[in-house]
Structure 1
Amino acid sequence: MRPLTSKQRISALAATAALVAAGVTAGTAGAAPSGTTSANGALPAQLTATQHTKLVKAADTEAAKTADARALGLGAKEKLHVKDVIKNKDGSTHVRYERTYDGLPVLGGDLVVHKSPGGKRTGTTKATNAKIAVKTSASTAHKPTTAKAKGSEAPRKIVWAADGKPRLAWETVVGGFQKSGAPNELHVITDAKTGKKLFQFQGIKEGSGNSQYSGKVEIGTSGKAGKFKMVDTGRGGNSTSDLKGGQGGKGKVFTDKDDVWGDGTTKDRATAGVDAHYGAGETWDYYKKVHGREGIAGDGKGALSRVHYGNGYVNAFWDDSCFCMTYGDGEGNKKPLTSLDVAAHEMSHGVTSTTANLVYAGESGGLNEATSDIFAAAVEFHANSPEDVPDYLVGEKIDINGDGTPLRYMDKPSKDGNSLDYWSPEAGDVDVHYSSGIANHFFFLLSVGSGEREVNGVKYNSPTKDGSKLEGIGIKKAEQIWFKALTEQMTSTTDYAGARNATIKAATGLYGKDSAEVKAVKAAWTAVNVTGS
């Protein structure tokens, strides 16, 4: 099902995501022998939208939710609400819940219940282990006022459980626009008892036709001669529209008389639409063919891509509220941010939001951004376009820096001048677009290895914190490990230590406890200074 509206949703820990930092203008399944990913029962099952919907409905019955709540020892005031269900090839399932307490949303209270093929609970992954016991009838003297900016929402009472002891709080959403020109959706959490600000995070995370970046491509359209529409009925109705410089609304869906779109340059407004539509289609195909997920939310429903946002807007973003990707035209409106990896990056924010829902701040925010970069690379390798050769660079086609360099480097993230190569205690205080470097670096080391390497003609030189020399296991295994960790083990509050544990569990489920893949996962995390047992 589509994400709930802002007034209906239970969780507001993640809503939208952008490519560039704000303000910048430029339970384990059965073990299997090593190397058997293609037939491994721990991999996600290929599910149609109908099959996924049936799984969610079955898990969302009062009987099923009550049984799980009792097994977890939850109190009488606590209720579980099914958000998603992942099913593996061996029949095991992973039911992702959000929680309410005395009718109030519990932010940071999400959890995943792991079940055997027979339905027996085999374990639970929680965002917090703290017991929830708050007085929901407490005084509202410190209720914040509603911000005046357009798009702001009235404060809502919640239980804040994302850090430390759960407490009664208010969540206020401030609208308007950010300095970069992107919409603003700043979530501010304040203590209901004292009025003190506890936390804040940004909801907008600044993310045949002739395309600008991928050459001549085939895209899914509909309609008939004389009136074709850029609506892909074969991929859930993915559609692409022209905002014509606007900063809101759905825009106007592109139409064409002969079903040949764009001219490969910015002179034709449809060219940016072709790139965005092609990227949406390739990303859809990747998640369906590689991970068995039909659509961003697994429900078979397509997403909207909006191009030509604002004037000279140098960014792109995903927004849950419209279930859409939005692309600016870049500096001087000459370099739309519609390359394949940018499209995959933004749509992958939607996948994260509908699964682990990693809060977009601190270390979990860095993991949120890294997840989009990781799957952007994976989509590139899956598409294998000769015009956009697969690599471990982010945004290399859009020339956002104006000097031909990419936006980010996965082999040595610090090459961009800001990103982190290794974890440190201060990582949670760094902008999420830069703390993401830790996980990006981990993924490169896991996939390719350390030191001097060359992939598809691109040369890399990836260092390690501990001086170790690593050999990669290949991107096909690495992407499966990350997806399994994201969808089955991570929660809204997962940090880097938690990500290490999640990927080790995922690799163990796929390849076995003592497999070379598990050892490679541990070594790659140690190499970026995320250590553990």
Structure 2
Amino acid sequence: MKRIFTFLFLFVFLSAATFAQEIEKQQIDRNGKPTFVKFDTKVKSVSKTETKAVLSSVFNMTKNDEYKSLRSEKDQIGYVHERFQQYYQGIKVENGVYIVHSREGVLEALSGEYKLINNISVTPSISANEAIENAKAFVNAQEYVKESEKSSFTPELVIVANDYNKHPKDNYEMVLAYKVDVYASKPLSRDYIYVDAQTGDVVHTNAIIKTADATGTAATRYSGTKSIKTDSYNGSYRLRDMSRGNGIITYDCNTSTSYTSAVDFTDVDNNWTAAEWDNAAKDNGALDAHWAGMVTYDYFNEVHGRNSFDGNGAQMKTYVHFDDSYENAYWNGSVFTFGDGASTFDILTSLDVFGHEFGHAVCEYTADLVYSKEPGALNEAFSDIWGCTIEYKYAPDKDTWLMGEDLGYVLRDLSNPKAKGLPDTYLGDNWVTSSADYYGVHTNNGPFCYWYYLISVGGSGTNDNNDAYSVTAIGIDKAEKIAYRVESVYMTASSNYANARTFAIQAAQDLYGAGSQEEISVTNAMYAIGVGEPYGGVTPPVSATYCESKGSDFSYEWIAKVQLGTFTKTSTGSAYSDFTSSAIPVNAGTSYAVTLTPGFASTTYDEYWKIWIDYNNDTIFDVDELVYDAGALSKVAVSGNITIPTGISGLRRMRVSMKYNAAQTAC
């Protein structure tokens, strides 16, 4: 039997670029490109006029690469955020958005995604019509929404990652593809389907309709008696509020799936009583939806200075009684839709659910997080955050941290994600790795939701990494501003949990100052959910793709403890423990004691130990990067020393490996 068990770490610091002397901090992606750069304006000011030169230098751009300005926004504290779209030979690079952050004409930071493209052809081998047919075959719906209802199928040539059905850590390439908008009515779905323009294969998908989970039951109405805005029309009143943005309109689909045939809800005296509206059709649910739309608009406008979901006063159209016994709610890219429920849910128009769906619309016009894997989980997390926060502001008598409690069944609990089967620790218990639900977007949102809860109300405990944490509350009024700044200012389509930590710390510094309690709490809450070190620790590790360990059978033995200097990590019986979110501060030219301890289920076995450090940062553990070799088999803990070479600086990955009865390779 061959059994290998490994730990992974990252440690030390790295900085390099033409503008290196001005760079204070940066975060690197799997391709060695920065996802975040913070300039040290105390050393030298980098003018905003140097933006293109900075981008070209940071990414080592070629003549085929180009960034075009998308839009520029000035926030409430004086920062200007200009978004740039990446192009390759004139073709848009999907999700390749970089944001330049400046203040008073001086560059302060950069954040976003630069997609590394190897010389690819931008001439398609298949036609647009072939791409449409392949996309429709992939969706395989019974019926599609008519072109008159905004489903044109008109494809756009883009360059996108061919990561469909791949694990987040798998390698991928950028390919030329047709982006096809496929809007199906039976069964309901709307997705961007990306079809490889050379092979015709589906290489990427992005759901436009983002739904709420449908896992519980409900039997009550939610909003009570509220003051609402309507309009007078033909001797009656309609659920149309034209005082907010370009209007909030609530329509009745009459259990159909057609938006064009929907009609207004009307009342003769503008007194929408329970005697009239609390009926078998659940019409009073429309009053909840209309009121929720009003206060949700007010929340974003008054707290964040955001005029509707797009920031420009977009009209909010809400459709109630969608389909017959439909148990879901969603934002479809242009309107908000709510079903009546059936055996599981009552009508899905509670305040927190409306705020959740509105959050998806806000995300589409800000970070535009891809609805899959970690970006998709963060997309869902932000929606839960906004749903709970809006409920806290406008319905304080309700339970703030429960999602959907008015529906009679709690969908998620931000204060205790594990209570509903979600993880509260990044990659911890309940973390989903399968492709179901777009790689668990409704589950893996748990840690980020818990992070928001912790900075809002505080808390202490021990996470799944066996790390004890304590977080001081800063209150929702500050937490909401930090979260909104992360989503609207720093995040881009492919942002992940590591980015979330970097951006949250930066947002706290922007709003409340470096070293503030807000920054400390934000950092410690990230540590609590297993992302990075506590405040006063080191910069989190970069993301990179390494060969996977072949460790599998952990029923007999495992790595129980790794000690390097004063750093200690423990593990229970599991095949592969990934501690890349942890970092070990070490000094070049210094020797450190190391002790490696095996764990056994019962019988002890002979084990061989090795440690590698990827000094040249090429994602390969080379032969000369073996820094510790036990030299013999052992049933007990082994010890030795590791000396860090002089001249080494930056983040580096370390792998600790244990193998039964024989020496091993790094993989």
Q: How far is the alpha carbon of 1:525 from its aligned partner?
A: 1.1
**Deviations, residues 333-384 of structure 1 (Å, cap 9, x unaligned):** 9711000001110011110000000000000000000000001111112213
Correspondence for 2:192 among 187, 191, 195: 187
Residue 72 of structure 1 aligns to a residue whose secondary structure is: helix
- 1:12 alignment counterpart: none
Q: Is 2:309 aligned against 1:296? A: yes
- 1:9-88 to structure 2, matched below 5 A, reads 68-69=51-52, 71-73=54-56, 80=67, 83-88=70-75
Answer yes or no: is the 8 Å Cα contact 1:464–1:527 preserved in 2: yes
In proportion to residue count, which structure has more helix?
A: 1
- 2:160 alignment counterpart: 160
- 1:374-523 to structure 2, matched below 5 A, reads 374-386=385-397, 389-399=398-408, 405-417=409-421, 419-424=422-427, 427=432, 429=434, 430-450=439-459, 464-465=463-464, 466-523=467-524
Residue 110 of structure 1 aligns to a residue whose secondary structure is: strand
Correspondence for 2:249 among 228, 231, 239: 239
Whole-angstrom CA distance in 2 between matches of 1:439 and 1:341 = 17
Instruction: Give the counterpart letter for 1:495 in structure 2.
Output: N
Distance verdict in 2 for CA 1:172–1:360, change over 3 Å: same
Whole-angstrom CA distance in 2 between matches of 1:315 and 1:30 = 48
Deviating more after overlay: 78-87 vs 121-130: 78-87
Q: How far is the alpha carbon of 1:76 from its aligned partner?
A: 5.7
Q: Is 2:110 aligned against 1:127? A: no
- 2:78 alignment counterpart: 91
Instruction: Give the counterpart letter for 2:158 in structure 1.
Output: I
Residue 433 of structure 1 aligns to a residue whose secondary structure is: coil
Instruction: Give the counterpart letter for 2:249 in structure 1.
Output: S
Whole-angstrom CA distance in 1 between matches of 2:40 and 2:495 = 24
- 2:608 alignment counterpart: none
Distance verdict in 2 for CA 1:120–1:166, change over 3 Å: farther
Whole-angstrom CA distance in 2 between matches of 1:272 and 1:335 = 9
- 2:527 alignment counterpart: 526
Answer yes or no: is the 8 Å Cα contact 2:304–2:481 preserved in 1: yes
Distance verdict in 2 for CA 1:491–1:449, change over 3 Å: same
Answer yes or no: is the 8 Å Cα contact 2:327–2:345 preserved in 1: no
Q: How far is the alpha carbon of 1:414 from its aligned partner?
A: 2.1
Q: How far is the alpha carbon of 1:253 from its aligned partner?
A: 2.2
Q: Is 2:178 aligned against 1:170? A: yes
Instruction: Give the counterpart letter for 1:166 in structure 2.
Output: M
- 1:21 alignment counterpart: none
Q: How far is the alpha carbon of 1:160 from its aligned partner?
A: 0.9
Answer yes or no: is the 8 Å Cα contact 2:162–2:204 preserved in 1: no
Answer yes or no: is the 8 Å Cα contact 2:370–2:493 preserved in 1: yes
Whole-angstrom CA distance in 2 between matches of 1:139 and 1:226 = 60
Distance verdict in 2 for CA 1:30–1:92, change over 3 Å: farther
Answer yes or no: is the 8 Å Cα contact 1:363–1:428 preserved in 2: no
Structure 2: stretches of 5+ with no match in the other structure: 1-36, 42-47, 146-150, 164-171, 213-219, 534-538, 540-667
The Cα RMSD (Å) is 3.0
Whole-angstrom CA distance in 1 between matches of 2:416 and 2:501 = 19
Whole-angstrom CA distance in 2 between matches of 1:160 and 1:29 = 30
Answer yes or no: is the 8 Å Cα contact 2:161–2:204 preserved in 1: no
Structure 1: stretches of 5+ with no match in the other structure: 1-26, 32-63, 400-404, 452-461
**Deviations, residues 185-207 of structure 1 (Å, cap 9, x unaligned):** 23333443444543333221114
Q: How far is the alpha carbon of 1:267 from its aligned partner?
A: 3.5
Whole-angstrom CA distance in 2 between matches of 1:99 and 1:227 = 52
Distance verdict in 2 for CA 1:383–1:232, change over 3 Å: same
Whole-angstrom CA distance in 1 between matches of 2:162 and 2:236 = 50
Whole-angstrom CA distance in 1 between matches of 2:427 and 2:345 = 39
Residue 472 of structure 2 aligns to a residue whose secondary structure is: coil
Distance verdict in 2 for CA 1:481–1:527, change over 3 Å: same
Instruction: Give the counterpart letter for 1:353 in structure 2.
Output: E
Whole-angstrom CA distance in 2 between matches of 1:28 and 1:266 = 58
Distance verdict in 2 for CA 1:175–1:297, change over 3 Å: closer
Q: How far is the alpha carbon of 1:481 from its aligned partner?
A: 0.6
Answer yes or no: is the 8 Å Cα contact 2:454–2:471 preserved in 1: yes
- 2:373 alignment counterpart: 362
Answer yes or no: is the 8 Å Cα contact 1:96–1:355 preserved in 2: no
Answer yes or no: is the 8 Å Cα contact 1:230–1:254 preserved in 2: yes
Whole-angstrom CA distance in 2 between matches of 1:261 and 1:68 = 56
Q: How far is the alpha carbon of 1:262 from its aligned partner?
A: 4.9
Q: How far is the alpha carbon of 1:255 from its aligned partner?
A: 2.0
TM-score (norm 1): 0.76
Correspondence for 2:291 among 278, 291, 315: 278
Identity of aligned residues (%): 30
Residue 229 of structure 2 aligns to a residue whose secondary structure is: coil
Whole-angstrom CA distance in 2 between matches of 1:447 and 1:394 = 16
Answer yes or no: is the 8 Å Cα contact 2:93–2:115 preserved in 1: no
Whole-angstrom CA distance in 1 between matches of 2:457 and 2:407 = 24
Whole-angstrom CA distance in 2 between matches of 1:276 and 1:70 = 49
TM-score (norm 2): 0.62
Instruction: Give the counterpart letter for 2:328 in structure 1.
Output: N
Q: Is 2:205 aligned against 1:200? A: yes
Q: Which one has a bigger Cα radius of gyration?
A: 2
**Deviations, residues 466-500 of structure 1 (Å, cap 9, x unaligned):** 23233322111111111011111100000111111
Correspondence for 2:270 among 249, 253, 259: 259
Answer yes or no: is the 8 Å Cα contact 1:413–1:421 preserved in 2: yes
Instruction: Give the counterpart letter for 1:413 in structure 2.
Output: P
Residue 240 of structure 1 aligns to a residue whose secondary structure is: strand
Distance verdict in 2 for CA 1:382–1:113, change over 3 Å: same
Answer yes or no: is the 8 Å Cα contact 2:162–2:203 preserved in 1: no
In proportion to residue count, which structure has more strand?
A: 2
Residue 469 of structure 1 aligns to a residue whose secondary structure is: strand
